[in-house]
Structures are given as structure tokens and as C-alpha cells.
Copies of this chain bind each other. A is one copy, B any other.
Amino acid sequence: MLTEKFCRSYRCLVSGTVGVHALVRRAHEERVLSLLRDRGALSRAQIATRVGLSRTTLSEITGELLARGAIVVVNTDAKARAGSGRPAELLALDPHSGQFMGVDLGHNRVRVAVADASHEIIARGVSSYAAETPWADRLAAAFALIERTGRESGVTYQALQGVGVGLAGPQPAGSAQSGIVSDAFSRRFAAPVLVDNNTRFAALAEAIAGGDDVRDVLYVRLSDGIGGGLVVGGRLVAGRFGVAGEFGHITADRSGDVCRCGKRGCLETVASVPAVLRACRLATIEDLSAALATGDSTAITTIERVATAVGRVLADAALILNPEQIVIGGRLVRAAPGIVARAGAIVEAELVPAGGDRPRIRAARLGDDDGTLGAIAALFKQSPLLAGYPETAGSMQ
């Protein structure tokens, strides 16, 4: 309805009327293509709802796109097909026409996943290296992994449409590190390369995990360090200079410990894995799980304090951003899942004045491949039709 109203005013605005109908029609077509690129296979009903078109108008448009070969009918809806009744036909971009690769270059391992244009993961792999491995060797390990994974899965990378590479740590736009990585991948593959922080990619992966496609997500990861990512209006936020999502250096305790960044009492000095282990006088994250399981009072008190600090930081962020979901992930949360409910209660209490519906606070759903899945999702989101993420992210080649 909104779309139709706007098309009416738009038609008035571009007052020469020749070709305006076609212009509007193209805009509709592009929204359909962009939706399928972004979301994978969908039924006509799902498409109609999401692009705000009538079934009749949509039918005309999908008919033309099918005739033109831009989209195909796919049958991935096996579950519905097993049920009674004729299942709805699903439409998708031709899956054979594109491959999208996500790479996560972590501190001590590289992961890769490859999706086709219908969002099916057709290859994945992982390999390890020592934490101090120089960049050239990490890249060599990544390329060897990609080759091996392709061989094992029968994927030749001939139809590669894009490569998303996640790196650990903030990635300021134009940083040397992201430049090296971007150059290496661009030389290796004849496809656009997008380099970004792997925690931000994970945020995007969480936003669309389980088919939710939540458009406004605030994601924080509590691991050896603390990072985070924002999805606002369906798009990953890199920030003007590429360093959005630095939850780890928000001050949680002005009289706290000195952080590696030089400030005092950053959230990372309170809620990272090393900080928590130090406070509990424990050696490993497994020790922490065990201590919590046996009701160790130091561990329990520490985790409550940590959850309170995390909840306050998230509450402030939620007052500013008003997200639909707040997702807490990382190794600490896997060892101490109680953090989520406790931090959630703090957020709930602090949001009182804002009004409107409340954001949902939940634990991360995805495991260690959140970075690769998010990198692929970022590639899918890069439609040339939406002036979006890649234009602001900086590292696009």
C-alpha cells in the first residue's frame, strides 16, 4: 500500500509521463530480484507480502522474470511437499549462476563456506595455524583450505560472485591489514572482495539465523576480547571509519582495572574470558563451567557482576538504537549461559521509560561458523539496487 502510494506521488513528480510506467515496473522487478538474492527461495505469496505488491501485479512480474531466465522455479521445500496438498512453488535466482564465498581468518584458524545463489551451503572447511603465524602464511593456509574444500565438494569457483573475508579485531576503513587481505583475495579470484570485522559478520548472521531476518539487532560477543555488531534497518553498520561495534571499550567501571587500550574499567576488563577467569582465580573456561555447575559462590557472584555490567552497557545501547533483538554470544556465554537472562533483566529494568514494544534478549544461535555465514550474508545483501552496506564499509574492491 505504501509502495503504491509512493509510486503515485513519484509518477506526479517525474512529470513527463513517457516511460514512467516502465520505470515503476523496473523498480518492482528490481525489488523482487533483490529480495531473492538476499533471501534465497521464496513462494509468490512470500514475495508479494515482502515487496508490498498485489498478487496480480507480482504474477506479471515473476512471469516476465521466469521467461527471461532471471529466476527459476526450485523445489527446496521438501518438507511442505511431504505434507498434504500441493506445495507452493518456490522461486529463486538460478542457483547455478552464482557462488558466494565466506572466509573467516581468525587468530589461530581459518574457516571457509561457499553458498550458491539459493543460499544453499555447498562447501565448508576449517584449518588451524599457530596464533603468531604471519599474514602471508595465514593467507597461504586460507587458499590451500579453499582449494581442498572445493576439491572435496566438487566446487570449482568458476561462478564466484563475491568473496567476503572476516578478520579478527576492528578493521578501520583503509587499514593496512584489510588492504593486504583484500589485495590477496582480489588477485586470486575474479570477483569483488569485501573485507570486514568477523564479529560484525557474525552479527549479520545472527540477524538472519533461523529465517528470522530481524532488521534491527544489537550483537555483543564475550570471548577473549569483546566485540559487537549492529544491524540497523536490515543493514550491517560499519560506521563512518569502519570501527562501529566497539562494545568492549565502553566504560563499565570507572574505578576498575586498566585495560589494554589504556583506559580504565572498559567492559573488556570485566566481562572478557580472561577477566572473568582472573576474578574467579580459575585457569580455563572449562574450570569456570565446572565451578558454576558445582555452585561455587565466587564463580556465581562473578558471573552476576559480569551480567550486570553487560546488561547496563546493552541497555544504554538499546536506549539509543531501539533494536528488535539483543543477541549475546561468545565463549563466555557458552560456559555461563545464565549471563543472558540476568543481563536481559537488567536491560528490561533500564528501558522502562522508552515505551513501545521491548527488544527480545537471547543467546547467540550460531556456532563457530557465524563469521563465514555472515560474510556470505553480507555478499547477498550487496545488491547493486540498494545503496547499502558496501558503499559505506570502505573495504570493497
Chain A residues in the interface with B (C-beta under 8 A): 2-3, 5-7, 9-10, 12-16, 18-20, 22-24, 26-27, 29-31, 33, 37, 68-70, 93-94, 97-98, 117, 159, 161-162, 170, 172-173, 175, 191-192, 215-216, 228, 230, 232-235, 237-247, 249-251, 259, 261-263, 266, 312-313, 316-317, 319-324, 350, 352-359, 382-392, 396
Q: Across the interface, which residues of B come within 8 angstroms of A358, CB to CB?
A: 241
Instruction: Report the bound CA distance from A350 to B265 in whole Å.
Output: 11
Known: A9-B191, A320-B246. A357 touches B161 (CB 8 A): no
Query: Are B247 and A170 in contact, CB atoms less than 8 angstroms apart?
Result: no
Instruction: Report the bound CA distance from A247 to B320 in whole Å.
Output: 6
Query: Are B246 and A353 in contact, CB atoms less than 8 angstroms apart?
Result: yes
CB distance from A378 to the nearest CB of B (A): 13
Interface centre among A6, A27, A238, A251, by most B CB within 10 Å?
A6
CB distance from A192 to the nearest CB of B (A): 5
Query: Are A70 and B14 in contact, CB atoms less than 8 angstroms apart?
Result: yes
Query: Are A19 and B161 in contact, CB atoms less than 8 angstroms apart?
Result: no
Q: Across the interface, which residues of B come within 8 angstroms of A22, CB to CB?
A: 26
Query: Are A391 and B2 in contact, CB atoms less than 8 angstroms apart?
Result: yes
Query: Are B312 and A233 in contact, CB atoms less than 8 angstroms apart?
Result: no
The residue that A13 contacts in the complex, of B7, B117, B246, with Cβ under 8 A, is: B117
The residue that A319 contacts in the complex, of B9, B250, B259, B352, with Cβ under 8 A, is: B250
Which residue on B lies nearest to A174, using beta carbons?
Answer: B356
21 pairs, A vs B, C-beta closer than 8 Å: A6-B192, A14-B93, A18-B69, A26-B26, A26-B27, A170-B356, A175-B355, A233-B237, A233-B388, A233-B389, A239-B321, A240-B357, A241-B355, A243-B322, A244-B320, A246-B353, A246-B354, A250-B316, A251-B316, A261-B353, A320-B320
CB distance from A36 to the nearest CB of B (A): 10
Q: Across the interface, which residues of B come within 8 angstroms of A259, CB to CB?
A: 353
Query: Are B354 and A170 in contact, CB atoms less than 8 angstroms apart?
Result: yes
Instruction: Report the bound CA distance from A29 to B2 in whole Å.
Output: 22
Query: Are A352 and B2 in contact, CB atoms less than 8 angstroms apart?
Result: no
Query: Are A6 and B240 in contact, CB atoms less than 8 angstroms apart?
Result: no
Instruction: Report the bound CA distance from A383 to B23 in whole Å.
Output: 13
The residue that A357 contacts in the complex, of B241, B350, B384, with Cβ under 8 A, is: B241
Interface centre among A16, A216, A245, A383, by most B CB within 10 Å?
A16
Instruction: Report the bound CA distance from A230 to B384 in whole Å.
Output: 25
Query: Are A239 and B322 in contact, CB atoms less than 8 angstroms apart?
Result: yes
Interface centre among A19, A322, A382, by most B CB within 10 Å?
A322
Instruction: Report the bound CA distance from A159 to B13 in whole Å.
Output: 9
Q: Across the interface, which residues of B come within 8 angstroms of A170, CB to CB?
A: 354-356
The residue that A320 contacts in the complex, of B18, B235, B266, B317, with Cβ under 8 A, is: B317
Q: Across the interface, which residues of B come within 8 angstroms of A322, CB to CB?
A: 237-246
Which residue on B lies nearest to A313, using beta carbons?
Answer: B316
Query: Are B9 and A312 in contact, CB atoms less than 8 angstroms apart?
Result: no
CB distance from A182 to the nearest CB of B (A): 13
CB distance from A124 to the nearest CB of B (A): 22
Q: Which 5 A-B pairs have the closest CB atoms?
A: A239-B322, A16-B69, A261-B353, A241-B356, A172-B356
